[in-house]
Amino acid sequence: MKLARYRPRDTVDFVVIGSGAAGGVVAKELSTQGFSVVVLEQGPYLREKDFAHDELKTFRQGVLINDWEKQPNTFRKSPEEKAMRQPAVFYGRQVGGGTVHYTANLWRFHEVDFEERSRWGTVAGASLEDWPVRYSDLEPYYTKVEQELGVSGEAGLSPFDPPRSQPYPLPPLPVKRCGAIFERVTRQMGLHPFPAPLAILSQPYRGRAACTQCAFCKSFGCEVRAKSSTLATVIPVAEGTGRCEIRSGCYVRKIETNADGRVTGAIYFDGRGREVMQKARAVVLCANGAESPRLLLLSRSSRFPDGLANSSGLVGAYFMVDTGVSVRGMFERPLNDHKGPHVSRVIHDYYDSDAKRGFWGGGGIDARFDWYPINFALDGMPGDVPRWGAGYKAALKEYFPRSMSLLAHSTCLPVESNRIDLDPDLKDAWGLPALRMTYRNHPDDLKVLHFLKDRATEILEAAGAKKIWSRKIEELTFTGHLMGTCRMGNDAARSVVDRNHRAHDVRNLFVVDGSSFVTCGRQQPTCTIHALAYRAADSMAAAARKGEI
Amino acid sequence: MEMAWLAQKHAHQARTSNKPLKFKALSVEEAAVVETIAEGILPADTTPGAKEAGVVWFIDLALSSFDRARRQAYREGVAAFEAKRRELFPSSLSMAALAPADVARLIGAMETTPFFEIVREHTITGFLANPEYGGNRGEAGWKLIGFSL
Ligand SMILES: Cc1cc2nc3c(=O)[nH]c(=O)nc-3n(C[C@H](O)[C@H](O)[C@H](O)COP(=O)(O)OP(=O)(O)OC[C@H]3O[C@@H](n4cnc5c(N)ncnc54)[C@H](O)[C@@H]3O)c2cc1C
């Protein structure tokens, strides 16, 4: 296989910025459809041999995520405050992006997720809108995600699932003990548990091995390639075309434009800190819900003084995050659930909003064990266990094998003042303005959390947990699900990209990733990011073939 | 990849050298104090505690590599523990010579200090990190909780 290598002065068809959930898919689709592609990824190109079962190294060094020393964030709750330096967003920073180290819950959004405004109306203090695409527009692409990447699950068990044209290509992974308990109890309660759809192979698939049931999914890379990351799936296909170059270690600082207002390429710092400009006929920005708006704002010019593609003033606005609440239970007998993928059963009975509850929003609840020894010992037990000594040691021994969590993954409303933008003072290690996050949960977000916490607690009580605990519900200040900052929409005054992800203001610029979301779904955004990317790439390719870019 | 390399080096030395391992960041006296505190946090009972699991070696490795910045905190923290020991148990000769119940009393008097938090975090981390880092010898920590790689 001859790998494509382009010179920066060669004008390639597409530069793709970021190689995560969206970027990997876009690169594969465009290159297999015959276009020349350069993917610029700031992180390293890691291989399976680089993924170690080493909790200390993975967390302490943050090997797979962004580094707040070099790329600091600032945070504030409201636009009146001065933002203070603190970690605010985290994401996978390597070829494959967040799909390398994520937990791999990969379920489709429901029909309601695309039409919240028409179904519910407005919510004071928020901008609840319909998407310019519907579930039916995405259905063929969701199918493509499941088939091409490899997703394990079982269709037809949840009465709340949206319609689908094909079953999952792989059967569900084995149930965990916490999943079996959850399934039995929720069924007794009249609820509808079903196997968690996971981007993890339950059987060998398309030349990749099945999951070996080790303990290391969340926050780790999979060394047997059973996790269906873009690194293990579509990126090798893109490279195999001989038309797609994955250029890692390239931190893009600006999308360049000319006097006609067209994009001409991207300027990046290479591994040695030199500035390089890669020329391209079009740019596809896939740097995620936090870095994509930041890069558009960094790309200001005399023609685009407020940042690129920002005539609406909404680049960075409507930032949405991973609201959720974890309720934990400890049982009389050991569950020994640390092996295998973390999640095995889910319910969607509380997914839709319900006017009777008196607030907008809902969510799913899954049963999981996603702890590792060190973080469990430091953070996983209730506040009333002793902190040291014989009592602490005994608790550790009792709790680790006997605990499970119910994670409620829920909604957060799009609020205009919740934003990602540039910090006016702080700079990163390359001298670029740091990412600033302004965020305060809408009151309804917290009401949903209280509601779901009560539901999860009921389930653990019915399951006979010996001890049940959870953290206090608080406004969120740190997030790993990054959504909504370059909204899709038909109205150029109220959104950043159109229904095909083309920037309203710039004909040959596309933005597709978590930033495209209009509303948040019920967390687990990645399946929808993949599907949007497949759909966007199709329409970009069609437009390019017709000379309409 | 500094950490993995260090861990390998440490494990290699422990295996191949017939000389006893030497501390790199801690003095022998400091190490004895730190080891006693660590054992107070995770004491031996029917299963090994921090001492037998080698936690002090993990802490020394941390302080000579990825946690170098905390060396000074250890220097001062150990001295403060020693001062408290002399205050509470004037006739005692050293931390290591205290009875377990007295160690517990001493820790109780120090448990709200930032230094104790650091030692606690290090002790628990070392006890449950991969054995190559020196503090989970014989997988003592993992055996306690029923974990395996
Ligand atoms: C611990 C954890 C667990 C998760 N579990 C789940 C889960 O179970 N299910 C789920 O649906 N989601 C999960 N997520 C979220 C998931 O990782 C993201 O939704 C997804 O990866 C986002 O895809 P994306 O394409 O928008 O961006 P990313 O995957 O973040 O990709 C963006 C890429 O762009 C690169 N980049 C950014 N800026 C630049 C620049 N200026 N120049 C060059 N490159 C740049 C980044 O390095 C990155 O590789 C999890 C996240 C975390 C942190």
DSSP-assigned letters across all residues of B88-145: H-TT---STTS-HHHHHHHHHHHTTSHHHHHHHHHHHHHHHS-GGGSSSGGGHHHHHH
Residue A460: CA count within 13 A, CB half-sphere = 30
Cα separation, A505 vs A315, whole angstroms: 12
Structure tokens at A483: 């959504």
Structure tokens at A493: 């005054």
Please identify, by atom number, the ligand 1 atom nearest to the C-alpha of residue A291: 38
Cα separation, A505 vs A420, whole angstroms: 20
Report yes or no on B33 lying in a domain: yes
Report yes or no on B100 lying in a domain: yes
Report yes or no on B21 lying in a domain: no
Contacts 24+ apart (CB under 8 A), A9-13: A9/A279, A10/A279, A11/A265, A11/A279, A11/A280, A11/A281, A12/A36, A12/A37, A12/A38, A12/A278, A12/A279, A12/A280, A12/A281, A13/A37, A13/A280, A13/A281, A13/A282, A13/A544
φ, ψ (nearest 5 deg) of residue A435:
-75, 130
Q: How far is B56 from chain A (nearest CA, A)?
A: 16
Cα separation, A255 vs A507, whole angstroms: 13
Instruction: Kindly give the residue spans of alpha helices, DSSP state H, lying in A260-389.
Output: 288-298, 373-379
In the predicted structure, residue A18 carries a pLDDT above the cut 90: yes
Report yes or no on B22 lying in a domain: no
ipTM higher than the 0.85 cut: yes
Report yes or no on B8 lying in a domain: yes
> Angle A117-A120-A125 (CA atoms, 0-180°, nearest 5)?
70
Cα separation, A33 vs A143, whole angstroms: 19
C-alpha dihedral (A311, A313, A315, A317), degrees to nearest 10 = -160
Closest CA to A16 of A72, A91, A97, A70: A97
Percent of chain A with pLDDT over 70: 100
**Domain coverage including residue B122:** 2-16+27-145
Cα separation, B76 vs A90, whole angstroms: 34
Residues A203, A210: contact at Cβ < 8 Å? yes
pLDDT of residue B1: 42
Confidence of residue A154 (pLDDT cuts 50, 70, 90): very high
Residue among B3, B45, B147 whose CB faces A338 most closely:
B147
Q: Which amino acid is at A20?
A: G
The reply to whether B81 touches chain A by the CB within 8 Å rule is: no
Report yes or no on B49 lying in a domain: yes
| Single pTM value for the model | 0.97
- Any atom of ligand 1 within 6 Å of the Cβ of A528: no
How many beta-carbon pairs under 8 angstroms link A with B? 78
pLDDT of residue B21: 77
pLDDT of residue B13: 63
**What is the count of structural domains for chain B?**
1
Structure tokens at B106: 């001493």
Closest CA to A149 of A189, A119, A106: A106
Best A47, A57, A64 member to test B by mutation, with max B CBs in 10 Å, is: A57
Report yes or no on B124 lying in a domain: yes
Mean pLDDT for chain B overall: 92
Report yes or no on B101 lying in a domain: yes
Closest CA to A537 of A18, A98, A20, A25: A25
State whether A389 and B40 contact (CB < 8 Å). yes
Q: How far is B57 from chain A (nearest CA, A)?
A: 15
pLDDT, one tens digit for every residue, chain B (149 residues): 456 566 666 666 665 555 567 999 999 999 999 999 999 999 999 999 999 999 999 999 999 999 999 999 999 999 999 999 999 999 999 998 999 999 999 999 999 999 999 999 999 999 999 999 999 999 999 999 999 98
Q: Residues of B numbered 57-76 whose beta carbons fall under 8 angstroms of chain A's beta carbons: which are they?
A: 66
Cα separation, A4 vs A16, whole angstroms: 15
Mean pLDDT for chain A overall: 97
Cα separation, A231 vs A98, whole angstroms: 10
Kindly report, residue by residue over A336-391, the tens digit of the pLDDT. Answer: 999 999 999 999 999 999 999 999 999 999 999 999 999 999 999 999 999 999 99
Q: How far is CA A225 from CA A221, A339, A504, in A?
A: 8, 17, 38
